[in-house]
C-alpha cells in the first residue's frame, strides 16, 4: 500500500545529456562556426547588402518585356527545354540497362554491381556544369554539348535510383519465376521491371525536373540554352533583360515541377 502513497514519479521535463553527447553538441556548433568563418560570413556585408540589392532591382526593374527581346528569349527557352527533354529521355533510356547491371542479385554478379555503382557515383560527383565544360571541349560550343551533359547527369541519377528501385521491388513474382527455371534476364524483364515501373516513372520525372533546372545554366559555359542570355545580360549590365531571363526560368521550372507532379499522381495513382 505504500506505492499508492508515493505514486508513480513524473519523468523530468528535460534529460541531462550524457557527457559524450554534450561534447558532440559543442563540437557540432564549433564546426558550423568554423564553416561560417570559412565562407566569409560577415554581418557587415549582410547589413549593407539590402541597399545594394535594392540598387540592382531598381536598375533591373521593370524587366525588359519588349516583344523582340521576349521572342528571342522565348526561343532560347524553347531550345533550353529541347536540351533538357532530349538529354533526360536519352539518359533514362541508357540508364535502364546500366541500372540492371548495378542492381544487386538481378542479372550481374557482385563485382559488376560494385564496379557499375562506383562509376555511377563518379558520374554524380562531377557537377553538371563540369560535364558541360568537358563536352564543349569534346563536341564544340552549342546545345549538343549541353544535351550530352544532361544525358550523363541523368545517367548518374537514374542509373543509381533505378537500381535501388529494382532492389526494393516485391521479390515474390521474381521468386515464382525463378522456381520455374526462368533465366535471370527473363525474370528481370517479366517480374522485377514491371514491379519497379511506377518507381521508374517517378524517378524519371524527377530526372526531367532536374534536367530542366540544369539546362537553364549550361549556357553559362556555352553549352546552349537560355543561360547564355543571363551571362550576357550581367556582363553588359543589361539588368532588365537579365531579370526577364531569371523570371522566365522561374516560371518554366515551377511549371515543369507542377506538370511533373500532376503526371506522377496520374500515372502512379492509377496504377498504384
Task: Give min distance, CB of 19 to another protein, in A.
Answer: 37
One of 85, 107, 189, 263 touching another protein (CB under 8 A) = 189
Q: Which of 111, 179 has the CB closer to another protein?
A: 179
Task: Give min distance, CB of 250 to another protein, in A.
Answer: 37
Does 182 contact another protein by CB under 8 A?
A: yes
C-alpha cell at 240: 532588365
Q: Which of residues 148-177 bind another protein (CB under 8 A)?
A: 172-173, 175-177
Q: Which of 168, 254 has the CB closer to another protein?
A: 168
One of 24, 74, 127, 194 touching another protein (CB under 8 A) = 194
Does 186 contact another protein by CB under 8 A?
A: yes
Does 70 contact another protein by CB under 8 A?
A: no
Q: Which stretch binds another protein (CB under 8 A): 38-46, 109-117, 189-197, 214-222?
A: 189-197
Task: Give min distance, CB of 169 to another protein, in A.
Answer: 10
One of 69, 190, 220, 253 touching another protein (CB under 8 A) = 190
DSSP symbols for the chain: -HHHHH-PPPPPSSPPPPHHHHHHHHHHHHHHHHHHHHTT--HHHHHHHHHHHHHHHHHHPSP---HHHHHHHHHHHHHHHHHHHHHHHHHHHHHHHHHHHHSTTSSS-HHHHHHHHHHHHHHHHS-HHHHHHHHHHHH-SSHHHHHHHHHHHHHHHHHHHHHHHHHHS-SHHHHHHHTTT--HHHHIIIIIHHHHHHHHHHHHHHHHHHHHHHHTTGGGGTSSSTHHHHHHHHHTT-HHHHHHHHHHHHHHHHHHHHHHHHHHHHHHHHH-
Task: Give min distance, CB of 161 to another protein, in A.
Answer: 19
Site size toward another protein, by CB under 8 A: 22
Does 271 contact another protein by CB under 8 A?
A: yes
Integer Cα distance of 44 and 51 in angstroms: 12
Does 106 contact another protein by CB under 8 A?
A: no
- What residues make contact with another protein under the rule CB under 8 A? 172-173, 175-183, 185-187, 189-191, 194-195, 197, 271-272
Amino acid at each position: 500500500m505504500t506505492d499508492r502513497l508515493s505514486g508513480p514519479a513524473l519523468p523530468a521535463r528535460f534529460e541531462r545529456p550524457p557527457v559524450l553527447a554534450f561534447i558532440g553538441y559543442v563540437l557540432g556548433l564549433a564546426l558550423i562556426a568554423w564553416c561560417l568563418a570559412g565562407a566569409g560570413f560577415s554581418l557587415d556585408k549582410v547589413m549593407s547588402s539590402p541597399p545594394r540589392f535594392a540598387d540592382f532591382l531598381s536598375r533591373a526593374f521593370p524587366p525588359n518585356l519588349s516583344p523582340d527581346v521576349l521572342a528571342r528569349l522565348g526561343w532560347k527557352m524553347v531550345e533550353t527545354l529541347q536540351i533538357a527533354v532530349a538529354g533526360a529521355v536519352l539518359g533514362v533510356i541508357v540508364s535502364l540497362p546500366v541500372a540492371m547491371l548495378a542492381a544487386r542479385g538481378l542479372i550481374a554478379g557482385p563485382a559488376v554491381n560494385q564496379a557499375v555503382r562506383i562509376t555511377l557515383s563518379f558520374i554524380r560527383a562531377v557537377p553538371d556544369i563540369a560535364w558541360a565544360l568537358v563536352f564543349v571541349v569534346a563536341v564544340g560550343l552549342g546545345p549538343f554539348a549541353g544535351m550530352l551533359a544532361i544525358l550523363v547527369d541523368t545517367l548518374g541519377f537514374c542509373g543509381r535510383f533505378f537500381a535501388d528501385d529494382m532492389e526494393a521491388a516485391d521479390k515474390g513474382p521474381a521468386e515464382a519465376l525463378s522456381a520455374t527455371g526462368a533465366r535471370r534476364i527473363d525474370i528481370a524483364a517479366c517480374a522485377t521491371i514491371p514491379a519497379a515501373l511506377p518507381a521508374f516513372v517517378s524517378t524519371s520525372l524527377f530526372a526531367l525536373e532536374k534536367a530542366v533546372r540544369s539546362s537553364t545554366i549550361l549556357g553559362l559555359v556555352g553549352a546552349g540554352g537560355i543561360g547564355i542570355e543571363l551571362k550576357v545580360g550581367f556582363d553588359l549590365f543589361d539588368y532588365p533583360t537579365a531579370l526577364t531571363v531569371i523570371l522566365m526560368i522561374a516560371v518554366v521550372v515551377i511549371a515543369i515541377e507542377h506538370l511533373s507532379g500532376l503526371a506522377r499522381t496520374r500515372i502512379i495513382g492509377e496504377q498504384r
